[in-house]
Amino acid sequence: MLMPIFNILIFPGLLFLFFFSLAAEFFDRKLGARLQNRVGPPWFQPLADFIKLLGKEDIIPEEADNRVFKLMPVFALTSVSCAFFYIPLWGKNALYSFNGDVVVVLYLLTVPILTYFLGGWYSRSVFSMIGAVRSLTQLFAYEVPLFMTILAAALLADTWSLSKMAAFYSAHPGYWVFNILGFVIAQITLLGKLEKVPFDIPEAETEIVAGSFTEYSGRLLALFRLSINIEMVVGISLLAAVFMPWWLDAGPIAGFIIYVLKVAALISLVSLLRSLFARLRLDQMINLCWRVFAPLAFLQVIINLILKGALFK
């Protein structure tokens, strides 16, 4: 009885996720800083930021919808944290799993974007509203290729459960190679979901201040920031589980280290892309997603369908 509660609240649940996401933010910031020839923050900076924000006053604009404004950060945090439980991290089994959880995880990762939209829209400030609309517009551009690549991997494994996918790919080592194209596309489109350069259009500070989060402050902003961090960890864990199904039999301690290394490698990619590119414009981003990534993701689906026909007759 106590074990599930421990799992959910402490390890590998919420408490672990909290610290792990702060560590991920630190790693991303430090690496980004080093790539840009800066010193970067000390290791405790994300935690210090979080605590400091918690101590700040919550200011809610008079015109904003009070209830929506306050609820959205909580929604964002809950949905991204929930998604974490269905992803196999180390080993082949997630904390919870059922057939169809891959779709649920993808949708749970979409919910935060909707909360950014609603939170921004109901802030009633021009900058928030433009940011909100941009978030949503961008969502329609990257979701399709991102979903397709992950579903393509699921197609090959012939299951809709992430845990079973992990089991399939460890039973057939080497099959992950077929998904490499999807992996690349998923990694790039994930940047859109995480709203990081070159897809940080919804919060482009030089244009619209902070986008949806312009009016947020204090605890509510802290929650939003935490959920963005957790979203990064969860999104990257998802990619690691789907596209990097390596050494899943290593046992708990070695497995944990391997998992952390996978996440670190993917975050490094995020930081690298972030410092290599300029921010795209919304129209350029949509063109790129629909004209390049979506057809390529579709190609991945077709490849996997053919492979499935050829390999499992």
Which residues lie near another protein (CB under 8 A)? 35-38, 121, 126-127, 129-130, 134, 197-198, 200-201, 204-209, 275-284
Return all residues near 96 (Cβ < 8 A) that are at least 6 apart.
Answer: 85, 86
Q: Which C-beta is closer to another protein: that of 200 or that of 215?
A: 200
Q: How far is the CB of 259 from another protein (least distance, A)?
A: 30
* Tally of CA atoms within 13 A in the half-sphere of 301 that contains its CB: 14
Report yes or no: 241 and 87 within 8 Å, Cβ to Cβ.
yes
Q: Which C-beta is closer to another protein: that of 109 or that of 208?
A: 208
Q: Which C-beta is closer to another protein: that of 99 or that of 284?
A: 284
Report yes or no: 279 and 200 within 8 Å, Cβ to Cβ.
yes
Q: Which C-beta is closer to another protein: that of 36 or that of 99?
A: 36
> Which of helix, strand or coil describes residue 41?
coil
Number of neighbours of residue 245 by Cβ within 10 angstroms: 24
> Which of helix, strand or coil describes residue 92?
coil
User: How far apart are the two ends of the chain, measured CA to CA in Å?
Assistant: 44
Q: Which C-beta is closer to another protein: that of 148 or that of 288?
A: 288
Q: How far is the CB of 29 from another protein (least distance, A)?
A: 12
Q: How far is CA 32 from CA 39, 97, 199, in A?
A: 10, 35, 16
Q: How far is the CB of 202 from another protein (least distance, A)?
A: 11
Q: How far is the CB of 270 from another protein (least distance, A)?
A: 14
Q: Which C-beta is closer to another protein: that of 127 or that of 216?
A: 127
Helices (H), the chain: 2-9, 14-35, 45-54, 66-84, 101-121, 126-157, 162-171, 180-193, 205-208, 218-243, 252-276, 282-288, 294-311
Number of neighbours of residue 296 by Cβ within 10 angstroms: 16
Q: How far is the CB of 153 from another protein (least distance, A)?
A: 28
Q: How far is the CB of 208 from another protein (least distance, A)?
A: 7
Q: How far is the CB of 200 from another protein (least distance, A)?
A: 6
> Which of helix, strand or coil describes residue 202?
helix
Q: Which C-beta is closer to another protein: that of 3 or that of 37?
A: 37
